[in-house]
Amino acid sequence: MQNRLNDALSGQSADYLEIRLEEFEANSIRFQGKDMERISSSQERGGNVRALVRGGWGFVTFNRWEELDEKIKEAIEIATLIGEKKSELAPIEPVEAELIPQYENDFRQISLKEKTDTVKNYSNIIMNFSPRIQSSIVDYSDRYTITHFVNSEGTYIKKEHPYLSLHFTAIAREGDDVQMASESIGSSKGYTQAERLSPLAQKAAQRAVNLLQAKPVPGGQYTVILDPVLAGVFIHEAFGHLSEADFLYEDPRMQQLMTLGKKVGSQELNVVDDGSLSGLLGSSQYDDEGVPTRKNYLIRDGVLTGRLHSRETAVKMGEEVTGNARALNYHFKPIVRMTNTYIERGKIPYEELFNDVKKGIYARQFYGGNTTFEQFTFSAGEGYLIEKGRITEQLRDITLTGNLFETLHHIDGIASDLDIIQSGGGCGKGGQHPLPVTFGSPHIRIKNVVVGGR
């Protein structure tokens, strides 16, 4: 394959060329209540060519690998029409690599029947949990992708990527009151993990039933303690996306707000994006431009220290490449994306964060939310009232609203219990969703958070 691709690239007149060929097989199964709602199994093959000529990009996707030579010509033609300045890409060393994951119990060897039985079993666990459970949704999906990447600088990378996810949603009802809770996992390992999720299915059901008893939160300003899930979502959604250089490059106001060297939080605050961690959903030794991934500090000792780059944004902004160009699949060109993004652990046990909170909220799990530049709104999946340092009662309908920069300054406690979350969702940007990522954090405490009902 490597030779075939290199032959296709040779003798072409472009400043830079790359080819990505991809094939995958995928399965998905959905149960609603005790009934199977959907089952599907598919295979697909495709590819793309990206050409750079005088600063202009041509991008062409296709399904028939036999048409590769024509598609290369097309991509160069488009780039030539657009290009009118100098081509610039941050320099990298060419690499040759085959990235084949090692794991047991390959999900491709498991029959669709066996997978269906597993999903059905989880569905029954939720539905039989309590008479108050009204409905449930269990979604299973797996996908095994093989990609070949080659560029005109001599890089060739073959990647095999297994991905599996399971989502549980439980819906509980009492009279007119309907409450919902979800749990999910994503994994880049074998099928074994999918077989061990009865406790997670039960947890979704238990949480939905518990919410029926919870009181709506009284709106106001509180000291809030976030669990690792909600703190992780916060740092990914509210902060991480602002660190993506393609977005920053186009927005002078945000560039100003995100000036490197600016103090944004306490000395204890460190935020990292690290695609080189092994075995996590956002991990890979090389990104989708063949750049080695690495540990990138976005905030170090409370100071903005870095952002995430593709080869193009790095050279435009005069900074180093970070290994953050990623494409969801062959339909898309690589853009700047996060990988595994987290707040580093602090020094104190998380229980101590509660000690001097007279009246506050312990917000856990993630329900939904949105961000617009530096403004964010997040809903917690569950929460509790804290009075005089102790959890007293369960609350619901907790939404947290604020300005990112004020909120970072208001973080006044970071615990030592870092947890990286491998959820079954994914990150969305520019129509590319769901891209596997992880996010994480220790428990953190934030002063003066505006909390409102949903």
Applying CB under 5 A, which residues contact Zn ion?
427
- For Zn ion, the closer of residues 239 and 354 by Cβ is 239
Q: Which two tokens stand for residue 67?
A: 């048409």
What CA–CA distance (Å, rounded) separates 445 from 386? 12
Instruction: Select the residue whose beta carbon is closest to Zn ion and give its number.
Output: 427
- For Zn ion, the closer of residues 343 and 427 by Cβ is 427
Least gap, CB of 233 to Zn ion (angstroms): 9
Burial of 51 (0-12, 13-18, 19+ CB in 10 A): buried
Cβ neighbours around 183 below 10 Å, total:
23
Note whether 202 and 450 are within 8 A (CB).
no
- For Zn ion, the closer of residues 91 and 428 by Cβ is 428
What CA–CA distance (Å, rounded) separates 255 from 406? 17
Closest-CA residue to 342 (of 448, 422, 435, 261): 422
DSSP characters over 257-307: HT-TT-B-S-TT--EEEETTSTTSTT--SB-TTSPBP-EEEEEETTEE---
Burial of 98 (0-12, 13-18, 19+ CB in 10 A): exposed
Least gap, CB of 241 to Zn ion (angstroms): 6
Closest-CA residue to 211 (of 185, 247, 173, 184): 173
Residue with tokens 């996810």: 165
Q: Is the C-alpha dihedral spanning 380, 383, 385, 388 positive or negative?
A: negative
Least gap, CB of 237 to Zn ion (angstroms): 6
Note the residue count of the chain. Answer: 454
Note whether 90 and 324 are within 8 A (CB).
no
Least gap, CB of 232 to Zn ion (angstroms): 11
Cis peptide before 434 (omega within 30 of 0): yes
What CA–CA distance (Å, rounded) separates 361 from 394? 10
- For Zn ion, the closer of residues 338 and 411 by Cβ is 338
Burial of 63 (0-12, 13-18, 19+ CB in 10 A): exposed
- DSSP-derived letter for residue 415 is B
- For Zn ion, the closer of residues 133 and 338 by Cβ is 338
Note whether 304 and 258 are within 8 A (CB).
yes
Least gap, CB of 308 to Zn ion (angstroms): 12
Note whether 162 and 51 are within 8 A (CB).
no
What CA–CA distance (Å, rounded) separates 447 from 224? 6
- For Zn ion, the closer of residues 328 and 427 by Cβ is 427
Least gap, CB of 310 to Zn ion (angstroms): 16
Least gap, CB of 338 to Zn ion (angstroms): 6
Least gap, CB of 321 to Zn ion (angstroms): 21
- For Zn ion, the closer of residues 18 and 374 by Cβ is 374
Least gap, CB of 434 to Zn ion (angstroms): 9
- For Zn ion, the closer of residues 123 and 184 by Cβ is 184
- For Zn ion, the closer of residues 347 and 433 by Cβ is 433
- For Zn ion, the closer of residues 385 and 427 by Cβ is 427
Least gap, CB of 129 to Zn ion (angstroms): 31
- For Zn ion, the closer of residues 136 and 432 by Cβ is 432
- For Zn ion, the closer of residues 118 and 340 by Cβ is 340
Q: Counting runs of H as helices and runs of E as strands, what totals does the chain give?
A: 9, 25
Least gap, CB of 281 to Zn ion (angstroms): 13
Closest-CA residue to 347 (of 235, 231, 266): 266
Least gap, CB of 317 to Zn ion (angstroms): 21
